[in-house]
């Protein structure tokens, strides 16, 4: 009798201490936030505020160096001491797939509807987002940042010059050429010198965004998917030849920057606000990439041109950045981990991560407009460093368009409005996929040499260093195919089918 009682007591003690361990042992959150943001997670208010709102707090393990973080992720094994969650995880598609296959990351799909209802609602209303974050087979091993106003490579045109010359905004490729000719010949900066560069650009990478003027666009791998789900490669296509011939005529007429292939954009950017503007059209996420802030008010978004009434534009990044958050197989409380991150997929969570608290760091008017309460200096050096978390490595969460559009800032507002206008038209030529290891290795083997050859040759076609003739084009397309374009096309098709095929 006595002995039995003692056994029960021991049993109770063991179970009590086990449950005490589970509730007291704080979950560990690991991730990357590079030093130049100044973020020090242990002293950043964001985590305290998140704990207040969600009831979930973490022991924080911040990495500040990308290489170390990469090695850390590579070293993760089931059975090794794993953190519970990865935040600002910067997981490449390949890392996501590999860590999932190793059993380090868990499939979150079965949990999302119940434990991350805000994120789940967004994914249900955007099946393309859901597919983009699903591994072949359907598992969701990492969560994204969702932002429909992701930065893009827009074209910005000098509207002051248009007005000075009595011109209207071009709407087609032909009208664009007429405008560029006028910029070249009619001294729109009115200094009596022929110093205008009608269109400046950096390499073929920028120029490719002009493909839209002819109704098509390809991604950096030269591919795009059509409405039937057929992936096409454009490097060897007739459309590409016609496009390069068109660029060559612009080059010959000196309508595009003679230094565009040979010097980096940083050396061509105008930095002196008192300088005479010489650029008619510049590329960049904002005109500030190439121009001093004071000059940017003269530049407006070049609304995508129409080709036979069709208006397309390439979205550089889509609306998702994948791999920002993940839960490991060692996670002690999956529902709590998801409850925490799910808050970032709400409007309140977006503000908390990016702007802090209303009445403390920012104020918001009844029309939705919001502004910082502190000076730009304090915001840059204190608020963004010690109170919010969105700077630096990409955070998980959802940024409603209204957040960006309602930011009350004289310089930013017109640019954000323009980016929003562009985003409504832009789409990814080819969606985000997860390549299998074999596919990725094949791409890594074939693509670098192929793209180096193709880029160089196409630039020579534009400049005329290699005259574009039937013979030189046949030679070019033959080499591109011999270097593996068909094989790559098969990979892009297979990856698309695995993830997006019905
Ligand atoms: Ca001039």
Predicted pLDDT of residue 5: 45
Instruction: Please name which of 295, 325, 437, 435 lies closest in space to residue 30, comparing C-alpha atoms.
Output: 325
Rounded distance from Cα 189 to ligand 1 centre (Å): 5
Rounded distance from Cα 185 to ligand 1 centre (Å): 9
Q: Cα angle vertex 238, ends 237, 241, to 5°?
A: 100
Query: What is the value of pTM for the model shown?
Result: 0.88
Rounded distance from Cα 422 to ligand 1 centre (Å): 30
User: Mean pLDDT, consecutive 10-residue segments, the chain of 502 residues?
Assistant: 44 41 74 91 96 97 96 95 97 96 98 98 96 94 94 95 97 98 97 96 96 96 96 98 98 97 90 92 92 91 95 94 98 98 97 96 93 92 94 95 88 88 95 95 97 98 98 98 98 96 76
Rounded distance from Cα 255 to ligand 1 centre (Å): 14
Question: How far apart are alpha carbons 195 and 179 in whole angstroms?
Answer: 16
Question: How far apart are alpha carbons 362 and 182 in whole angstroms?
Answer: 46
Rounded distance from Cα 464 to ligand 1 centre (Å): 27
Task: Give the CA distances from residue 98 to residues 71, 102, 338, 339, 501, in Å, rounded to whole numbers and listed in that order.
Answer: 14, 6, 22, 25, 22
Task: Return the beta strands (E) in 141-274 as ranges.
Answer: 143-147, 154-158, 197-199, 223-225, 231-233
Predicted pLDDT of residue 322: 97
φ, ψ at 335 (rounded to 5°): -55, -40
What DSSP character marks residue 442? Answer: H
Token look-up 């994120």 returns: 119
Rounded distance from Cα 174 to ligand 1 centre (Å): 23
Rounded distance from Cα 160 to ligand 1 centre (Å): 13
With contact defined as beta carbons under 8 Å apart, do 129 and 146 qualify? yes
Predicted pLDDT of residue 38: 92
Rounded distance from Cα 328 to ligand 1 centre (Å): 61
- The arrangement of strands across the sheet holding 279-284 comes to 197-199, 279-284, 154-158, 299-301
Structure token pair of residue 74 = 């590579």
Task: Give the CA distances from residue 341 to residues 46, 76, 335, in Å, rounded to whole numbers and listed in that order.
Answer: 13, 22, 10
Query: 8-148+318-399, which class in CATH?
Result: alpha beta
Question: How far apart are alpha carbons 179 and 169 in whole angstroms?
Answer: 8
Task: Give yes or no on whether 8-148+318-399 and 154-311 have one common fold.
Answer: yes
Rounded distance from Cα 194 to ligand 1 centre (Å): 5
Rounded distance from Cα 267 to ligand 1 centre (Å): 20
Query: 154-311, which class in CATH?
Result: alpha beta
Question: How far apart are alpha carbons 175 and 311 in whole angstroms?
Answer: 15
Rounded distance from Cα 168 to ligand 1 centre (Å): 20
Predicted pLDDT of residue 150: 87
Rounded distance from Cα 270 to ligand 1 centre (Å): 15
Domain limits, the chain: 8-148+318-399, 154-311, 437-500
Rounded distance from Cα 279 to ligand 1 centre (Å): 10
What DSSP character marks residue 1? Answer: -
Question: How far apart are alpha carbons 386 and 374 in whole angstroms?
Answer: 14
Predicted pLDDT of residue 24: 54
Give bridge partners of residue 320 from the DSSP assignment: 146
Rounded distance from Cα 166 to ligand 1 centre (Å): 16
Rounded distance from Cα 276 to ligand 1 centre (Å): 8
Question: How far apart are alpha carbons 196 and 186 in whole angstroms?
Answer: 9
Token look-up 């650009």 returns: 201
Helix 334-342 crosses helix 45-54 at what angle (to 10 degrees)?
Answer: 110
């Amino acid at each position: 009798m006595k002995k039995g009682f003692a056994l029960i007591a021991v049993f109770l003690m063991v179970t009590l201490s086990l449950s005490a361990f589970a509730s007291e042992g704080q979950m560990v959150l690991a991730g990357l936030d590079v030093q130049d943001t100044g973020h020090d997670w242990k002293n950043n208010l964001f985590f305290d505020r998140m704990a207040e709102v969600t009831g979930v707090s973490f022991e924080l393990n911040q990495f500040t160096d990308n290489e170390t973080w990469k090695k850390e992720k590579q070293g993760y094994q089931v059975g090794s001491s794993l953190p519970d969650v990865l935040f600002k995880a910067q997981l490449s598609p390949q890392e996501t797939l590999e860590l999932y296959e190793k059993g380090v990351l868990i499939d979150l799909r079965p949990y999302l509807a119940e434990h991350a209802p805000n994120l789940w609602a967004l994914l249900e209303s955007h099946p393309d987002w859901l597919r983009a974050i699903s591994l072949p087979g359907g598992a969701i091993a990492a969560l994204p940042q969702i932002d429909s106003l992701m930065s893009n490579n827009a074209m910005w045109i000098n509207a002051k010059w248009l007005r000075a010359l009595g011109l209207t905004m071009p709407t087609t490729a032909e009208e664009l050429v007429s405008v560029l000719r006028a910029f070249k010949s009619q001294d729109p900066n009115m200094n009596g010198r022929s110093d205008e560069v009608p269109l400046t650009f950096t390499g073929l990478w920028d120029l490719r965004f002009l493909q839209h003027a002819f109704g098509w666009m390809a991604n950096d791998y030269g591919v795009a998917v059509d409405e039937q789900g057929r992936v096409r490669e454009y490097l060897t296509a007739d459309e590409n030849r016609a496009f390069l011939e068109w660029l060559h005529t612009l080059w010959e007429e000196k309508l595009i920057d003679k230094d565009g292939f040979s010097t980096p954009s940083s050396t061509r950017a105008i930095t002196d606000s008192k300088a005479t503007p010489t650029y008619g059209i510049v590329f960049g996420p904002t005109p500030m990439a190439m121009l001093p802030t004071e000059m940017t008010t003269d530049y407006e978004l070049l609304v995508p041109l129409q080709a036979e009434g069709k208006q397309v534009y390439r979205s550089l990044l889509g609306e998702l950045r994948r791999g920002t958050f993940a839960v490991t197989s060692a996670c002690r409380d999956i529902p709590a981990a998801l409850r925490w991150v799910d808050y970032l997929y709400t409007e309140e969570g977006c503000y908390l991560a990016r702007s802090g608290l209303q009445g403390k760091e920012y104020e918001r008017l009844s029309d939705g407009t919001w502004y910082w309460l502190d000076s730009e200096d304090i915001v840059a050096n204190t608020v963004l460093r010690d109170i919010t978390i969105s700077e630096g490595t990409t955070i998980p969460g959802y940024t409603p368009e209204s957040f960006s559009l309602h930011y009350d800032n004289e310089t930013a507002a017109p640019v954000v409005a323009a980016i929003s206008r562009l985003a409504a038209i832009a789409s990814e030529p080819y969606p985000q996929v997860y390549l299998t290891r074999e596919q990725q290795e094949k791409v890594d083997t074939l693509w670098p040499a192929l793209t180096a050859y193709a880029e160089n040759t196409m630039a020579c076609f534009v400049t005329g260093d290699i005259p574009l003739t039937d013979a030189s084009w046949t030679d070019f397309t033959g080499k591109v195919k011999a270097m593996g374009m068909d094989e790559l096309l098969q990979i892009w098709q297979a990856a698309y089918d695995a993830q997006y095929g019905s």
